[in-house]
Structure 1
Amino acid sequence: MNRLRCCPARGLLRPGRGKGQWCLTLGGYFPGLRHPGISGLKRTWKSPGVKARDYPPSTSWLSEPPLGPVPHPSMVLARGGRSRAQPLTLSLGAAMTQPPPTKVPAKKHVRLQERRGSNVALMLDVRSLGAVEPICSVNTPREVTLHFLRTAGHPLTRWALQHQPPSPKQLEEEFLKIPSNFVSPEDLDIPGHASKDRYKTILPNPQSRVCLGREQSQEDGDYINANYIRGYDGQEKVYIATQGPMPNTVSDFWEMVWQEEVSIIVMLTQLREGKEKCVHYWPTEEETYGPFRICIQDMKEHPEYTVRQLTIQYQEECRSIKHVLFSAWPDHQTPESARPLLRLVAEVEETPEEASHTRPIVVHCSAGIGRTGCFIATRIGCQQLKARGEVDILGIVCQLRLDRGGMIQTAEQYQFLHHTLALYAAQLPEEPSP
């Protein structure tokens, strides 16, 4: 029985002239015949005039019924959509004839520069890309950090702070979003600074660090781990946040106090809390530290803190300094009550020398960022509540971290700051609810 079958290789399979022969008519020339439907066909195609036979392993596939309508050979197009070629007749079991091979011209070797075109053309292509799609600037992590710290804020009115405060969970989430703005050792290119750092990861931010400028410090450089901190309404150099003095930095500490004409020192740590947190940098009566002579003039103990009146003498000049030691504040934690902290803030406010706001207040704990940051933020927040009737605690912390990285160390301290300022707001004269 003569049957026609559509070959998957874009050809037509039909009975041949001789017995047991089949012919394959293709719409174009193909150098090989590959398809799963005739994968069992052993190909031995060669040039015309050379005997070549294809031996199918079985003839059962030739008697299978056709899978669909059989197209006319003239409708079979060559691969790739090219013009139809002359039909090629392939006799299975007989010699195959094929058109003479087309001579392909040898590919000319082209140098890389010729394929690309000239350098000028390459430059024009790059410029044209910019005209189609403008190049957008990408913010670096440092720029993102600075933008957040300069713009973030969450103002709270006195009424909201007392009656509708954020929940502890909300405050924790808000605190964790604030970039720490710590300084890496690579960003602080100061030879020998490591020997003067109490903690190797707590370093002064370069743009606001205090530089020692007197002659006796030139041999050791101008370095001290301390930063100028802005105060209420962005006033410059209201505070100096620094670490607890070390044995080899006591003289530098008093030099900074003298250089900046400091009149108040607030100390927020004990000398030892399991390990050394700060050295005893003031005398019991009188002592000399480098070129500075320090004397105790008076001491008064309060339930939560101790106040000492000191004098510092350099050459023939002598100045008075108020030293306040608040020791009831564990490291990385909060005081048991907010009221002692508010009394400490009031103690600083009552200092006559503070009325002029011309001299910075030195504040330190052990690292100079946790308890130090809480005290400074509390005082700024009290000033905002008193002057404006509202407080932006998030904005205060962001401003502090711009000046010294890591100020306010824990979410617990951040929550305690809100609690302390809510207590202060309750002490102010009544205001109508919104």
Structure 2
Amino acid sequence: LLDVNTLGVETVCSVSTPKEVWLQLLHTSSRPLTHTLLQEAALDTNTLNVEYQKIPPNFVNAAELDVPGHTMKDRYKTILPNPESRVILRNPDDDPGPDRYINANYITGYKGAPRAYIATQGPMVHTVGDFWDMVWQERSSIIVMVTRLKENNEVRRPRETSRHGRFNIRVKDSQEKDGFTVTDMEIELRSERRHVRHYWFTSWPDHHIPQCIAPYLKLVEEVETYSESLVPTSSQEVPASGPGPIIVHCSAGIGRTGCFIASSIGCQQLRETGQADVLETVCQLRLDRWVHKSCRKVREQPTVF
């Protein structure tokens, strides 16, 4: 079970260790565990918490982000994208203005796959257009939403037919599953249409953890299976709508989002090697984005894998 608590509200403690030193720690820390050792580690919460607290935060200071006006598009003023991996929105061909800002980062995937995911904050009323611009620009075919449909009076998922910025969004089909909803959408810009599949995990309350882990792991598995189906064989052309990064968001884009991505990578590790390196995975996430409390407690069930 992956535990996520308060997001964007805790005081960030200063770190006296030189940045070069803790960046080296993030690049080199590793502790691969077999399935049995994962279960044993989950029972030793004190050791697990100590290990987690030793992971350098790689926190982004506002002075490091040289983007004028970015605060208007940040949900939380202390949660900023790492400059080295942040997504930059290019302007359309008919708009000669400067590139635009979105609070999002590319995330390295399993086996070091570059830009396998995008971790981002939940879109706000005035940033929904930017969100869909990112989906289009990155040719993403999968969106994973790990939050309630409506938080703070903001609706996070399109309903039926809607227009956001330059795009028309149409819901083509929706299936209710155990703990999550799968919605097939069509995104249209001018005369071009692309298919996007939206996964919404409905059983994760804000600032708490799911009561049952099985639906969550089923979601992780289903997203991975569908993502693999989008990868063309050597004889197929790459489809226009993918395979781009899997876009994952919650509210702040650092807690539940980090948990989902870490779970996805860990499950792939277990299936292929029989081991999962939670420490290395969380450290890699920290290099790409300041994920917070992405892994406090891991509790694996023997029947899951």
TM range (shorter): 0.7 to 0.9
1:218–1:241 distance in 2 versus 1, CA, 3 Å: farther
Aligned to 2:103: 225
1:207 lines up with 2:92 in the alignment: no
SS at match of 1:295: strand
1:385 lines up with 2:270 in the alignment: yes
1:257 lines up with 2:142 in the alignment: no
Deviation of 1:306 after TM superposition, in Å, equals: 1.1
Q: Distance in 2 between matches of 1:404 and 1:164?
A: 25
Q: Distance in 1 between matches of 2:105 and 2:134?
A: 11
SS at match of 1:350: helix
Aligned to 2:176: 301
1:187–1:175 distance in 2 versus 1, CA, 3 Å: same
Deviation of 1:330 after TM superposition, in Å, equals: 2.1
Q: Give the AA of the match of 1:347.
A: E
Deviation of 1:427 after TM superposition, in Å, equals: 3.6
Residue in structure 1 matching 2:280, options 374, 379, 395 = 395
1:316 lines up with 2:195 in the alignment: no
Q: Distance in 2 between matches of 1:214 and 1:350?
A: 33
Aligned to 2:293: 409
Q: Distance in 2 between matches of 1:230 and 1:177?
A: 21
1:345 lines up with 2:220 in the alignment: yes
1:141 lines up with 2:23 in the alignment: no
Residue in structure 2 matching 1:172, options 49, 57, 73 = 49
Q: Is the 8 A contact 1:198 1:243 kept in 2?
A: yes
1:360 lines up with 2:245 in the alignment: yes
Deviation of 1:148 after TM superposition, in Å, equals: 1.0
Aligned to 1:126: none
Q: Give the AA of the match of 1:333.
A: H
Q: Give the AA of the match of 1:235.
A: A
1:272–1:292 distance in 2 versus 1, CA, 3 Å: closer
1:161 lines up with 2:45 in the alignment: no
Deviations 1:249-289 (A, max 9, x none): 1100000000000101000011445x35xx32543221221
Q: Is the 8 A contact 1:332 1:370 kept in 2?
A: no
Q: Is the 8 A contact 1:282 1:294 kept in 2?
A: no
Task: Structure 2: state its 5+ residue gaps.
Answer: 1-15, 232-241
Q: Distance in 2 between matches of 1:177 and 1:208?
A: 23
Q: Distance in 2 between matches of 1:163 and 1:202?
A: 33
When Rg is computed on C-alpha atoms for both structures, the one with the higher figure is 1
Q: Is the 8 A contact 1:397 1:408 kept in 2?
A: no
Q: Is the 8 A contact 1:348 1:354 kept in 2?
A: no
Aligned to 2:125: 247
Q: Is the 8 A contact 1:264 1:322 kept in 2?
A: yes
How high is the TM-score relative to the length of structure 1?
0.61
Q: Distance in 1 between matches of 2:272 and 2:228?
A: 21
Task: Structure 1: state its 5+ residue gaps.
Answer: 1-138, 429-434
Higher mean C-alpha displacement, 371-380 vs 144-153: 144-153
Aligned to 2:239: none
Residue in structure 1 matching 2:62, options 166, 171, 185 = 185
1:301–1:208 distance in 2 versus 1, CA, 3 Å: same
Q: Distance in 1 between matches of 2:156 and 2:220?
A: 23
Deviation of 1:221 after TM superposition, in Å, equals: 3.9
Residue in structure 2 matching 1:234, options 103, 106, 112 = 112
Q: Distance in 2 between matches of 1:290 and 1:272?
A: 20
Q: Distance in 2 between matches of 1:236 and 1:161?
A: 27
Deviation of 1:205 after TM superposition, in Å, equals: 0.2
Q: Give the AA of the match of 1:380.
A: I
Q: Give the AA of the match of 2:38.
A: L
1:332 lines up with 2:204 in the alignment: no
Q: Is the 8 A contact 1:263 1:353 kept in 2?
A: no
Deviation of 1:159 after TM superposition, in Å, equals: 2.7
Q: Give the AA of the match of 1:409.
A: K
Deviation of 1:169 after TM superposition, in Å, equals: 0.4
How high is the TM-score relative to the length of structure 2?
0.85
RMSD: 2.1
Runs of 4+ in 1 over 3 A off after TM superposition: 162-166, 216-221, 352-355, 425-428
Structure 2 counterparts to residues 38-117 of structure 1, below 5 A: none
Residue in structure 2 matching 1:289, options 160, 164, 172 = 164
Among all aligned residue pairs of Structure 1 and Structure 2, give the percentage whose two residues are the same amino acid.
Answer: 49
Q: Give the AA of the match of 1:223.
A: Y
